[in-house]
């Protein structure tokens, strides 16, 4: 019988440790939170403040350079016109280069767009193909790293 009594006493130790952990862990978390707030690392009140969207400043490393709108008459039995407006996202130090080479850029874009089969404009995903091809031509003209992205702001076929 003494063996059974010893086993019951050994089973209480893990239960006491579990109860102790239940009390100690939240107290440690509370202490850490109060300490972070006291030393100014974290403020719980800052989570409750509402920020006005106008106050949030967005700073970008890139500027958008507008290229003139391109209007092309598409060949084919029907008389249709393609209108395309493009913006180039580039670093501020490359804006002068883009503006200087703008006639060459427009020539490359017009040359590519005029060679597209009019039936291709009816297919799904043509705008992605056009964006990728214009980006490739822009890379040939400006060089690697001169721009970040090319944005098509208008793509209209009338």
**Digitized pLDDT (tens) for each residue of the chain, 158 residues in all:** 555 555 555 556 677 777 888 888 888 888 887 777 777 776 666 666 666 665 555 557 889 999 999 999 887 778 888 899 999 999 899 999 999 999 999 999 999 998 888 888 888 888 999 999 999 999 999 988 888 889 999 999 88
Is 101 within a domain? yes
Considering the domain architecture, whether residues 76 and 114 belong to the same structural domain is answered as: yes
**Measuring CA to CA, which residue among 6, 150, 5 is closest to residue 84?**
150
Rounded to two decimals, the pTM is 0.60
The answer to whether the beta carbons of residues 55 and 94 sit under 8 Å apart is no
The distance of Cα 38 from the centroid of its chain, to the nearest Å, equals 36
Closest to 106 (Cα-Cα) out of 143, 149, 67: 67
Tell whether 22 and 76 lie within a shared domain: no
* In contact, 110 and 49? CB cutoff 8 Å: no
Q: What is the largest CA-CA distance in the chain?
A: 105
Whether 87 is in a domain gets the answer yes
Is residue 55 in a domain? no
Is residue 58 in some structural domain? Answer: no
Same domain, 27 and 78: no
Q: Same domain, yes or no, for 101 and 25?
A: no
Strand partners, 71: 83
Residues 101, 128 within the same domain: yes
In a domain, 53, yes or no: no
Rounded to an integer, what distance in angstroms lies between the CA atom of residue 116 and that of residue 7? 86
- Specify whether the CB–CB gap between 152 and 131 falls below 8 A: yes
Dihedrals phi, psi of 46, to nearest 5 degrees: -65, -25
Burial classification of residue 86, based on how many CB atoms lie within 10 Å of its CB (0-12 exposed, 13-18 middle, 19 or more buried): buried
Q: What range defines the domain where residue 16 resides?
A: 2-47
89 and 43 within one domain: no
The tally of domains found in the chain comes to 2
């Amino acid at each position: 019988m003494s063996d059974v009594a010893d086993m019951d006493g050994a089973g209480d130790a893990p239960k006491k440790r579990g109860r102790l952990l239940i009390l100690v862990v939240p107290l440690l978390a509370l202490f850490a939170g109060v300490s972070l707030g006291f030393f100014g690392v974290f403020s719980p009140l800052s989570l409750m403040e509402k920020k006005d969207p106008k106050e949030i400043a967005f700073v970008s490393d890139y500027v958008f350079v507008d290229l003139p709108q391109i209007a092309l008459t598409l060949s084919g039995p029907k008389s249709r016109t393609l209108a395309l407006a493009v913006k180039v996202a580039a670093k501020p130090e490359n804006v002068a280069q883009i503006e200087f080479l703008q006639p060459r850029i427009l020539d490359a874009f017009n040359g590519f767009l005029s060679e597209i089969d009019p039936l291709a404009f009816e297919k799904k995903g043509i705008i992605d193909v056009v964006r990728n091809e214009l980006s490739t031509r822009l890379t040939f003209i400006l060089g690697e790293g001169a721009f970040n992205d090319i944005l098509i702001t208008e793509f209209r076929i009338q």
